[in-house]
């Protein structure tokens, strides 16, 4: 009787355990069979815009960064993309520059966002357009200084022959952006400072010059001292490990030289190198809204701010020949960074496709902040 009692009570427990294992296996198979939304998004993006490859990083506060590589780092060599591949970051450099400005302002209390640039850089007093003396750090950070490449031109994307014709500069002798910035002092602004938005690489060039003036250091050295999160980045073209497809067919432009377009678009790195910048705590002034801003989105101080019902998101994207980059983050630091070795067209459509896709990922849900 004793043995019979044990048998009749042991089998139900074993059956429950077996059923539990079966349920776990079925759930795992169902999860495996269900397409991952990140994989689907990036695969669709690469296919739709004929881009060879990408690396994406997803980060949530308190959790390790999740890295994924897709496609080819070099289409001709058929080399698979690795999460350790290094890209041109293009305009993801601008939040880096803005962070350095923030730190310098914190260290030099006599200056503020509304300090006129000419107070520290007297060369602006010689500008052809007297309105240049009104340009402040805030104007530069918000792309509101008065330059508009749609109305005139972006000197960093002038073919070398045009750079010589318009500014009297030789592409071969450029080592930083100062000659371009000083050459543009001979041209008028396109709008009064602080009255309208006009995306300007030139404005961020001037911020880089200001950083050098206040810190007494070269731009790259100063940034890596001021912003520890940027220490994995470099301004060396030789550090790029992917083939930026379409780069070889592009004309010689100053933007091709990382050390020249440095503060506006020169940094090089991996997704892991940039992620500390993407997730660093934000100063409240990042959300400074210019008076001319649209109600739903605007360019703050180094980041574009999107007012959405579920909470604010910040983005920046970058584009160069053969280069596309995008960062999306929340105020609390959840972030996605995506780097591509091809440039999509049309660019704004591609940004919208990728931004909305990333914003819909689980890491950006339920973010009341």
β-pair partners for 249: none
101 within 8 A of 207, measured Cβ to Cβ: yes
Q: Which fold has domain 43-71+85-358?
A: Beta-lactamase (3.40.710)
- The residues, any chain, with a CB within 8 Å of residue 324's CB and separated by 6 or more, are 51, 90, 317, 318, 339, 340, 342, 343, 344, 347, 350
C-alpha–C-alpha distance, residues 158 and 322, integer Å: 17
Beta carbons within 8 Å of 54's beta carbon, 6+ residues apart: 42, 45, 46, 69, 70, 71, 81, 338, 339, 340, 341
CB-based contact 37:360 (threshold 8 Å): yes
Q: With a cut of 70, which residues of the chain have pLDDT below it?
A: 1-33, 366-369
* Predicted local distance difference test score (pLDDT) of residue 52: 98
Q: CB of 253 within 8 A of CB of 156?
A: yes
- Quick one: CA dihedral 73, 79, 81, 82, positive or negative? negative
pTM for the predicted model, two decimal places: 0.89
pLDDT at 16: 43
| pLDDT of the residue at 74 | 97
* 297-299 sheet: strands from edge to edge: 79-80, 66-74, 53-59, 335-340, 323-330, 313-320, 304-306, 297-299
Q: Which residues pair with 315 in a beta bridge?
A: 304, 328
What's residue 35's pLDDT?
Answer: 86
pLDDT of residue 109: 80
Residue-level pLDDT at 158 = 95
Query: How much is the pLDDT for 108?
Result: 84
Distance (Å, rounded) from C-alpha 212 to C-alpha 180?
A: 16
Please report which helix (H) or strand (E) contains residue 183, including its range. Answer: helix 178-183
């Amino acid at each position: 009787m004793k043995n019979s009692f044990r048998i009749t009570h042991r089998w139900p427990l074993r059956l429950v355990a077996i059923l539990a294992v079966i349920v776990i296996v079925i759930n795992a198979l169902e999860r495996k069979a269900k397409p991952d939304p990140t994989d689907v998004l990036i695969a669709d993006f690469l296919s739709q815009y004929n881009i060879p490859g990408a690396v994406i990083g997803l980060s949530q506060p308190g959790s390790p960064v999740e890295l994924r590589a897709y496609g080819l780092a070099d289409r001709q060599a058929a080399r698979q993309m690795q999460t350790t591949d290094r890209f041109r970051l293009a305009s993801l450099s601008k939040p880096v520059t803005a962070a350095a400005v923030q730190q310098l302002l914190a260290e030099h209390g006599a200056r503020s966002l509304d300090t006129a640039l000419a107070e520290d850089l007297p060369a602006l007093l010689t500008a052809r357009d007297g309105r240049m003396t009104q340009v402040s750090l805030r104007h530069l950070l918000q792309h509101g200084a008065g330059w508009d490449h749609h109305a005139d031109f972006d000197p960093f994307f002038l073919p070398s022959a045009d750079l010589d014709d318009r500014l009297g500069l030789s592409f071969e002798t450029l080592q930083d952006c100062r000659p371009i910035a000083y050459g543009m002092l001979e041209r008028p602004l396109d709008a009064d400072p602080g009255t309208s938005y006009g995306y300007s690489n030139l404005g961020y060039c001037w911020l880089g010059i200001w950083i050098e003036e206040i810190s007494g250091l070269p731009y790259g050295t100063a940034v890596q001292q001021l912003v520890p999160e940027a220490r994995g980045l470099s301004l060396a073209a030789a550090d790029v490990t992917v083939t930026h497809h379409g780069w070889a067919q592009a004309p010689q432009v100053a933007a091709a030289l990382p050390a020249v377009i440095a503060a506006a678009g020169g940094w090089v790195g991996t997704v892991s190198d940039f992620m500390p910048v993407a997730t660093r705590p934000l100063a409240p002034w990042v959300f400074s809204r210019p008076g001319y801003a649209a109600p739903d989105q605007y360019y703050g101080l180094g980041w574009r701010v999107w007012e959405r019902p579920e909470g604010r998101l910040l983005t920046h994207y970058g584009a160069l020949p053969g280069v596309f980059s995008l960062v999306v983050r929340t105020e609390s630091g959840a972030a996605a960074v995506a780097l591509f070795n091809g440039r999509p067209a049309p660019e704004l459509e591609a940004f919208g496709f990728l931004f909305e896709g990333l914003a819909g990922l689980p890491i950006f849900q339920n973010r009341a902040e």
